[in-house]
Amino acid sequence: MRHVSVVGIGAGDPEHVTIQAIRVLRAADVVFLVTKDDDRAELVELRRTICDRHLEHDYRTVEIADPPRDRSAADYPAAVEDWRRRRAEAYEHAIRDELGESQRGAFLVWGDPAFYDSTLAILDEVLARGSVRFDYDVVPGITSFQALAAQHGISLTRVGQPVEITTGRRVADGRHDDHGDVVVMLDAQLAFERFAGQDVDVYWGAYVGMPDELLLAGRVADVAEEIAARRREARERKGWIMDTYLLRRRAQDG
Ligand SMILES: C[S@@+](CC[C@H](N)C(=O)[O-])C[C@H]1O[C@@H](n2cnc3c(N)ncnc32)[C@H](O)[C@@H]1O
């Protein structure tokens, strides 16, 4: 039976790739690279660099173009359903047509497949469609927020306390206004700015683990402007940005 591994490759530093990931990738006949239409050439190139750096065997690379989602459609549920079907079809064709019956394939997933990544859900959908059989396993990777914490030299959890992982959209909607420690990903709108009037610290990082890495930390009120300016400048210069941050409410005395 075909075998598929979903391999977390870390947040951009080729040294994030674990020994387990290298072992699994070295056993792969086919490495699948999923490309989005808003994907930057640099990010696709980086995944190729990771393969070149760690793999020496004879393997094939197959690109899967992730179908874009129609965000303007009037019928929202129908549009989402259509997008899910098209994604499942693209993966299904790639696995069925590019992977031999007894071969091993590997999907490279940014960070860790367990955080804000749809590869596992899509593979389940492909299996449910029933036109190609395979089994799959998951190799964990270093997430962007683990890399962020390491670069700032902080723990994400304070003694006995939880940390939440969420999206910029939910923070902007005010859903985390009363919460202690929050890791924010996928933020296109500088949602942390809403905490400028409060005793909240931000530990921010962009391109963490990559040559263009940017790090800033401090009270939101003190650093929000600088983060916004550095973010804007980097985004204009490179054409894309990936950033993440921890929001941490200062402990109240007494
Ligand atoms: C679709 S999610 C994928 C998350 C990934 N699975 C992980 O474990 O980190 C993409 C988001 O991850 C964050 N991200 C990924 N790589 C990053 C990096 N090198 N530096 C900062 N943030 C990063 C950004 O918030 C970005 O919007």
Whole-number Å distance between alpha carbons of 242 and 188: 9
| 157 Cα to the center of ligand 1, angstroms | 19
Residue ID of nearest Cα to ligand 1 atom 22 = 243
The pLDDT of residue 76 is 80
Whole-number Å distance between alpha carbons of 196 and 183: 17
| 2 Cα to the center of ligand 1, angstroms | 29
Contact 249, 181 (CB under 8 A): yes
Q: Is 66 in the pocket of ligand 1 (CB under 6 A)?
A: no
| 116 Cα to the center of ligand 1, angstroms | 8
Whole-number Å distance between alpha carbons of 128 and 86: 14
Contact 5, 24 (CB under 8 A): yes
Contact 160, 40 (CB under 8 A): no
Tokens, residue 108: 């490279």
Contact 23, 56 (CB under 8 A): no
C-alpha closest to that of 188 among 171, 212, 210, 209? 171
Residue entry with tokens 């808003």: 38
Query: pTM, whole model, 2 decimals?
Result: 0.94
Sign of CA dihedral 224, 228, 229, 231: positive
Q: Is 6 in the pocket of ligand 1 (CB under 6 A)?
A: no
Whole-number Å distance between alpha carbons of 52 and 77: 41
The pLDDT of residue 254 is 42
Q: Is 150 in the pocket of ligand 1 (CB under 6 A)?
A: no
What are the two backbone dihedrals, phi and then psi, of residue 95, each rounded to the nearest 5 degrees? -70, -45
Residue ID of nearest Cα to ligand 1 atom 2 = 116
Residue ID of nearest Cα to ligand 1 atom 10 = 186
Whole-number Å distance between alpha carbons of 111 and 115: 8
127 contacts: CB under 8 Å, gap ≥ 6: 133, 134
Count Cβ atoms within 10 A of the Cβ of residue 81 and give its class: 0-12 exposed, 13-18 middle, 19 or more buried: exposed
Whole-number Å distance between alpha carbons of 174 and 243: 20
How confident is the prediction along the chain (254 residues), in pLDDT tens digits per residue? Answer: 999 999 999 999 999 999 999 999 999 999 999 887 765 778 888 898 999 989 989 999 999 998 888 778 888 888 888 888 999 999 999 999 999 999 999 999 999 999 999 999 999 999 999 999 999 999 999 999 999 999 999 999 999 999 999 999 999 999 988 878 999 999 999 999 999 999 999 999 999 999 999 999 999 999 999 999 999 999 999 989 999 999 999 986 54
The pLDDT of residue 246 is 98
Whole-number Å distance between alpha carbons of 6 and 145: 19
| 241 Cα to the center of ligand 1, angstroms | 10
